[in-house]
Amino acid sequence: MTRTTFYLIRHGESESNRRRVFTGWKNFPLTDLGVTQAKLVASALPRVDIIYSSDLDRAVMTARQISNRFSIPVLLSKNLREINAGAWEGLSYDKLVERYPDSYGTWVEDIGHACPDGGESVAEMGDRVLSALRELADRYPGKKICVVTHATPIRAIRCMAETGSVDGLSEIPWATNASITVCEFGEGKMHVKTYGMDTHLGKLKTNLVGNV
């Protein structure tokens, strides 16, 4: 049985993380701390065969540090992006509470059934990212693939691997910035081996605050 190993990396701290705004597909660069985190996660990774990244700046900047370590090019995929947040893009969490109390309330209380106004649902995002990973597993059987992506996709992949849906997503915590989640894909199924490993960051860990 051939298993493909994925190292799912959440990007380092971004300017939007620091400013506490909902990012989605909007582009924000890494902070200086985020760049340091990206270098640390690159140093912590075992050798990989291939590097894929979301095409959003914060993910690409993280992936470049991994590319520098292994001298492997970064391949970009829109299908690895964060959730399309529609009208929520770039708004602070306080503004979301004020303008979209019902739909954002669902995000906070029951994220698996949430859908940003004018964007894609969490379920649609999860299907998109899982399909992208399945395609990579089919294309590169038995390889070790580094995938640099975002908080909601990584959280959703764990939930879908364990339960088959995103319904229980609120029970799963956010993975920290520049953390490592290891998954294996085989026999048509994704298996999560470790989630959100971040010991390589020491005191430099950062994360989304609460269930935002």
The whole-number pLDDT of residue 7 equals 98
Closest CA to 152 of 206, 66, 60, 81: 81
Rounded Cα–Cα distance for residues 111 and 194 (Å): 22
Q: What is the pTM of this model?
A: 0.96
Q: Indicate the domain borders of the chain.
A: 4-200
The whole-number pLDDT of residue 9 equals 98
The whole-number pLDDT of residue 210 equals 60
Ranges of residues in the chain with a pLDDT under 50 are none
Residue 212, token pair as written in the block: 């935002």
C-beta of residue 88 within 8 angstroms of C-beta of residue 96 = yes
Rounded Cα–Cα distance for residues 44 and 198 (Å): 9
Q: What is the CATH number of domain 4-200?
A: 3.40.50.1240
Express each pLDDT in 82-121 by its tens digit.
Answer: 999 999 999 999 999 999 999 999 999 999 999 999 999 9
Active site residues: 11, 82
Q: What is the DSSP string of the chain?
A: ---EEEEEEEPPPBHHHHHTB--TTS--PBPHHHHHHHHHHHHHSPP-SEEEEESSHHHHHHHHHHHHHHT-PEEEEGGGSPP--GGGTT-BHHHHHHH-HHHHHHHHH-GGG---TTS--HHHHHHHHHHHHHHHHHHSTT-EEEEEE-HHHHHHHHHHHHHSSSTTGGGSPPPPTT-EEEEEEETTEEEEEEEEE-GGGGGG-----S--
SS (H, E, C) 105-135: HHHHHCHHHCCCCCCCCHHHHHHHHHHHHHH
The whole-number pLDDT of residue 212 equals 74
The whole-number pLDDT of residue 208 equals 80
- Helix axis angle for 32-44 and 57-70, nearest 10°, is 40
Residue 151 CB contacts under 8 Å (≥ 6 apart), including other chains = 10, 82, 174, 175, 208
